[in-house]
Structures are given as structure tokens and as C-alpha cells.
Amino acid sequence: MKPLIVANWKCNPITLKEAKKLFNLVKKGVKNFKNAEVVICPPFLYISNLKSQNSNIKIGAQNCFWEQKGAFTGEVSPKMLKNLGCQYVIVGHSERRRNLNETDEMVNRKLKAALKENLRPILCVGNKNRKREKEFKGIRIQMEKALSGIKKSDLKNLIITYEPVWAISTTKGREIATPIEAKEGAIFIRKILAKLFDKNFAQKIRIIYGGSVDSGNIRGFIKEAKMDGALVGAASLKPKEFVRTVKAASRA
């Protein structure tokens, strides 16, 4: 399967003009890389504009609500995203867990709502502690709660991001994960999936890596760690660097 490279623009850029420019530079740059699947997750309000730019790049959202409509001021529903042509949605990013007190129960409700609309959820799991035992315990709890009450047959489109918080570029004192650490993270996640569902299912789910990924290190994560792709934050805002990152992934 082609590596899946997901750009998480977070709360950037601050004008639609800049968003279109960034998108179009990436679109032009990745046009010939047929061996990678590229998804861009811009802020909500740029989605419809970028969707109409007509390209092979798929569009995702960075979050969604757990209800499809109603009196929920400020929220954006999976149904709305689907109606805009969005195919992917990030759920449970550590910045939302930390800054907005998003709980595992909320992540679970969002995941269920996204699956109901046939969006491909990109579930982020990760811990701020690099000590393996604590880190993996945190991930196990996140996964058990996020996937609680969801049938295996509804999870065919699930993508999991192993995103150690200690490796995210904006984390204070950030450290870079090695491909071996990423590989161990993915193995652990598959173990949990096998326990919650079964081994065959666990092997089929795409697990990507997130945390300071760029053109210099992506090869190690794809080739050595055998990750199914990457979630890219800071480097996705620099068009040349992001295009190089996609290129490296497509040749790994």
C-alpha cells in the first residue's frame, strides 16, 4: 500500500490567500509522485475553497463534533464535513486533549460520529512520557476508550497515528524518536488492536507516525520502522520541504 502522508496545518495560515498559495505549491510539487497518498488537513474554513482546487490531494479536517446537527454553538459536524467533500478527519490530537481538555470519552463519541458518516478517522494516540512502560500504558488506555463500543466491521477505514507527544516539534524540550521507537509503538498498537478485535484485523489497520517528521527522517520511519505513512505538522507549512517529504516517502 502507498504511504499515506497527512499534512496537519493546525491553526495556519491566517489568510485564505496564503492557504491557496500553499496548497497550490504542494499540488504542483507532488503531482508526479504516484507512490504516495497525500491528504491536507487545513483549518475548517478553508476546506471548501481548497476542495474546489481540483487535484489529487485529498482533504481532511483537524477535528469534528460528535453530533450531526443541532444546538451546538461553534461546532462542526462530520455530516457537514462529508457534504463539503472531506474524506478524512483527525480525532484526538494531543493538542486538543491538552489545550481543550478533550477526554477519551469525547474522542470515542467523535470517532463514532465520523465513522457513521463514512469519514476516514485518523485517531491520534500518544503520551508525553518517553519511558516506554508509562508511554504504552497511556496509549493502551487511550485506545481502549477511543474504540469502546465500536464494531470491527465499522473500523475498516480507521487510521491510527502513533504520535508521541514528547516528539512533536512544538513540545518544550522535544526529542526525536528513532525509527526503532516508532516501530515498537506500531507493534504495541497492533497488539492492542489484536486484543480488542483480532490479529488479522490488527494487521490490516494503517498505522502512521507523527512527531517532527520531515524530508530528512521520513525514510527511516517508512522503510525501517515500516510505518504506513506519516502525520506532518510544522514541515507541512513549508511547501518545498513538504514536497521533499512526500517525495522521500514515495521512494522509501
DSSP 177: P
Please name the amino acid found at residue 163: E
Query: Nearest CA to 42 among 105, 79, 77, 88?
Result: 88
Closer of 79 and 161 to ligand PEP (Cβ): 161
Q: Which residues share a beta bridge with 174?
A: none
93 is known as an active-site residue: yes
Task: Choose the binding region for ligand PEP from 106-114, 144-152, 188-196, 229-237 (rule: CB under 6 A).
Answer: 229-237
Q: What angle do CA 210, 120, 104 make, to 5 degrees?
A: 65
Nearest distance from residue 214's CB to ligand PEP, in Å?
8
Q: Cβ of residue 176: shortest distance to ligand PEP, in angstroms?
A: 10
The residue among 168 and 192 lying less far from ligand PEP, judged by its C-beta, is: 168
Cα angle 221, 192, 95; round to 5? 60
DSSP 217: T
* Catalytic member of 37, 102, 117, 163: 163
Q: Is 37 a catalytic residue?
A: no
Cell of residue 49, nine digits:
475553497
* Interface of this chain with ligand PEP, residues 155 to 184, rule: CB under 6 A: 163, 168-169
Q: Binding pattern to ligand PEP, positions 117-156, x when CB under 6 A?
A: ----------------------------------------
- For the chain, how big is the Rg over CA atoms in Å? 17
234 lies in the site for ligand PEP, by CB under 6 A: yes
Rounded Cα gap, residues 125 and 140, in angstroms = 9
CA 83 to chain CA centroid, Å, is 20
By rule CB under 6 A, what string of x and - marks binding of each residue 197-216 to ligand PEP?
A: -------------xxxx---
Of the residues 37, 93, 117, 181, only one is catalytic, namely 93
As annotated, the active-site residues are: 93, 163
Where does this chain bind ligand PEP (CB under 6 A)?
A: 8, 163, 168-169, 210-213, 231-235
